[in-house]
Amino acid sequence: MPASSRAHGRVSALAITAALSLLLAACGGGDKEPVAGDSDTGSKSAQAFGEVSVTGPDLTEYSSDGADATVGSVAPTLTMEGPTGDKGVIGGAAQPTLVVFLAHWCPHCQAEVPVIVKAFKDGRVPDIRLVAVATSTNPQAQNYPPDSWLDREDWPGEILLDDKDFTAGRAFGLASFPYLVALDAAGKVTGRALGDTTVSQIEALAATAV
């Protein structure tokens, strides 16, 4: 887990591609069987992973230590799929966007989602597109499938799915969960954040993009 004063408020994803099982164990998702209420095996979702294509160079991996040199850089454009196979694009010339990378089994993500929901439903956040990217998905862990979990939380934005190789997360410099990236209408990064964030911090991050 990367050294940081905020390490207690996030789950490291540095070893995602090599050791997902270790991350799951550290986060509490582990190898345990889903318990009642944790998963929705009767979900009507067509898929839990989607095809991802990336146009443009990856962002550098984010660290909360020091200034973020990526701010002002153009983010790669991600062409992705939603739970029912619908297409979605992140980046490029579009509306200001707040992208939230979440793992359904991560307790910090589980705690953060209601905060984001409250921020948007309370009207605290400026007019900005909200997209959840469900990544690091594990069918054996809590809250699977991720779109059913987000639906239960009354997620007010879009849901897009990373692939099994974490292509979207790597392209956006994912280092920990939860991970927020703000993009302006030109597709440039205006701010990034890791770990547990407050309503005020979410509002401030979103405001950088508009």
What are the structure tokens assigned to 109, written together? Answer: 């993500």
- CA atoms of 136 and 101, how far apart (whole Å): 9
Residue whose pair of structure tokens reads 């799951």 in the numeric block? 24
Q: Parse the chain into domains and list their residue ranges.
A: 49-207
Taking residue 108's Cβ as centre, other Cβ atoms within 10 Å add up to: 21
> What's the pLDDT score for residue 210?
94
What are the structure tokens assigned to 42, written together? Answer: 């009767």
CATH 3.30.390.30 assigned to domain 49-207? The reply is no
- CA atoms of 205 and 107, how far apart (whole Å): 22
Q: Are 169 and 161 in contact (CB under 8 A)?
A: no
> What's the pLDDT score for residue 63?
87
Measured torsion, CA atoms of residues 148, 116, 173, 13, in degrees rounded to the nearest 10: -60
> What's the pLDDT score for residue 26?
41
Handedness of CA 89, 91, 97, 98 (dihedral sign): positive
Across the chain, where does the E strand assignment appear? 11-12, 53-55, 77-81, 87-90, 97-102, 129-134, 158-161, 176-177, 179-183, 189-194
> What's the pLDDT score for residue 1?
34
Q: Which of 74, 62, 70, 98 is nearest to 188 (CA)?
A: 74
CB-count exposure of residue 75 (10 Å: 0-12, 13-18, 19+): buried
Answer left, alpha or beta for residue 124, where phi above 0 means left and psi between -120 and 50 means alpha: alpha
- CA atoms of 57 and 10, how far apart (whole Å): 26
Q: What is the pLDDT along the chain (210 residues), one digit of tens a residue?
A: 333 333 445 555 544 443 344 444 344 333 333 333 444 544 444 699 999 999 999 999 998 888 899 999 999 999 999 999 999 999 998 899 999 999 999 999 999 999 999 999 999 898 999 999 999 999 999 999 999 999 999 999 999 999 999 999 999 999 989 999 999 999 999 999 999 999 999 999 999 999
